[in-house]
C-alpha cells in the first residue's frame, strides 16, 4: 500500500517536471541549443539508442566505473583494515591519507591522463582514487567499533585469527562499511566521467564533450540522464545488498 503510493508520487512528480520543462521551452521560446524540449531529447535518445552508439558509450563508462569501484574498494578495505588494527601502520600512513584528501581529484585527473594515456587505465584509476577515501574511513570506523567483549568471547573460544575476521569483524563492520560503499558507488561514476572529460574518445563523458562542441544540447541531456540512471542503479544495487546483508538490523516499524 505504502509502496504503491510512493511509486505514484514519483511518477506524478516526474510528469510534473516534464510539463514544467515543456512550458518553459514554449513560453521562453529558447533555441534548441540552449534548452531542447523533452521531445527533442527523447528523439535524440531513440536515435543514438538505435544506431547502437549510446549502448557502446554506456558500456565503456560502466566498465570503467565497475573496475574503478572494485579497485578502490579492494585497496581501501585492505588499507583500512591494516590501519584499524595496527597503530604503527596508522601513524605511518595517516598523514599521507589526510593530505591526499585535500588534493581535489578533478585537478589531479589531467596528470593521470598525461601519465597513463587517454585509455581505460586513467579513468579506472581516477574512479578508484575517488572511491578510496570514504570506503577507507568507513572500514576503519567499522572495524574499530567491533565490541571488545565480543573479541574476548572469540578468544575465550580459541577462535583463530581467520575465524575472528570471518565470524566477528566482517559482520560487525558490515553496516558502516556498506555506508561507505553506498557513497563510493556514486563517486565512482563521477570519477570515470571526470577522467573522460579530461581526455577520452569514448564513454558518456566523451559524449557530453562532443555534444557541447557541436551545440548538440539534446545529446548532452541524453548523456546526463543516462549517467544519472547509471548512478541511481548502482546506488540501488548497494541498497539491495544492504537490505539483504543487514536484515538483522532492520526494524520492522509498524507505520513504515
Q: Quick one: cell of 244?
A: 539483504
Kindly state the smallest distance separating residue 194's Cβ from another protein, in Å: 37
> What is d(CA 77, CA 140) in angstroms, rounded to the nearest whole number?
8
Kindly state the smallest distance separating residue 211's Cβ from another protein, in Å: 48
Find the part of the chain contacting another protein (CB under 8 A) among 67-75, 126-134, 135-143, 153-161: 153-161
Kindly state the smallest distance separating residue 158's Cβ from another protein, in Å: 5
Q: CA nearest 120: which of 185, 198, 53, 67? A: 67
Measured CA to CA in angstroms, residue 152 lies from 126, 157, 161, 174 at distances of 41, 9, 13, 20
Residue 155 touching another protein (CB under 8 A)? yes
DSSP for 1-32, please give it: -HHHHHHHHHHHHHHHHHHHHHHHHHHHT--T
Residue 243 touching another protein (CB under 8 A)? no
Measured CA to CA in angstroms, residue 160 lies from 81, 149, 164 at distances of 17, 16, 6
Q: Give the total of residues touching another protein (CB under 8 A).
A: 20
Residue 172 touching another protein (CB under 8 A)? yes
> What is d(CA 216, CA 208) in angstroms, rounded to the nearest whole number?
9
SS3 for 161?
helix
Residue 165 touching another protein (CB under 8 A)? no
Selected binder of another protein within 111, 147, 229, 239 (CB under 8 A): 147
Residue 157 touching another protein (CB under 8 A)? yes
Selected binder of another protein within 5, 13, 163, 243 (CB under 8 A): 163
Residue 253 touching another protein (CB under 8 A)? no
Which parts of 202-221 interact with another protein (CB under 8 A)?
none
**Binding stretches for another protein (CB under 8 A):** 147, 149-150, 152-159, 163, 167-168, 171-172, 174, 248-249, 251
Amino acid at each position: 500500500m505504502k509502496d504503491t503510493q510512493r511509486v505514484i508520487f514519483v511518477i506524478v512528480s516526474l510528469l510534473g517536471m516534464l510539463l514544467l520543462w515543456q512550458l518553459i521551452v514554449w513560453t521562453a521560446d529558447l533555441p534548441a541549443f540552449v534548452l531542447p524540449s523533452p521531445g527533442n531529447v527523447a528523439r535524440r535518445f531513440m536515435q543514438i539508442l538505435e544506431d547502437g552508439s549510446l549502448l557502446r558509450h554506456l558500456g565503456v563508462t560502466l566498465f570503467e566505473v565497475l573496475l574503478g569501484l572494485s579497485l578502490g574498494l579492494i585497496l581501501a578495505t585492505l588499507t583500512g583494515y591494516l590501519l584499524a588494527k595496527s597503530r604503527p601502520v596508522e601513524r605511518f600512513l595517516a598523514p599521507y591519507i589526510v593530505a591526499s584528501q585535500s588534493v581535489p581529484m578533478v585537478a589531479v585527473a589531467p596528470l593521470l591522463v598525461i601519465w597513463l594515456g587517454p585509455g581505460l587505465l586513467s579513468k579506472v584509476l581516477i574512479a578508484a582514487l575517488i572511491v578510496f577515501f570514504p570506503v577507507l574511513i568507513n572500514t576503519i570506523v567499522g572495524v574499530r567499533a567491533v565490541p571488545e567483549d565480543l573479541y574476548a568471547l572469540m578468544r575465550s573460544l580459541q577462535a583463530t585469527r581467520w575465524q575472528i575476521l570471518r565470524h566477528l569483524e566482517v559482520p560487525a563492520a558490515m553496516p558502516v562499511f556498506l555506508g561507505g560503499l553506498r557513497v563510493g558507488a556514486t563517486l565512482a561514476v563521477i570519477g570515470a566521467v571526470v577522467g573522460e572529460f579530461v581526455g577520452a574518445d569514448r564513454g558518456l563523458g566523451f559524449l557530453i564533450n562532443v555534444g557541447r562542441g557541436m551545440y548538440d544540447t539534446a545529446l548532452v541531456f541524453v548523456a546526463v540522464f543516462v549517467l544519472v540512471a547509471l548512478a541511481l542503479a548502482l546506488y540501488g544495487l548497494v541498497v539491495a545488498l544492504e537490505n539483504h546483508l543487514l536484515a538483522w538490523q532492520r526494524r520492522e516499524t509498524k507505520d513504515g
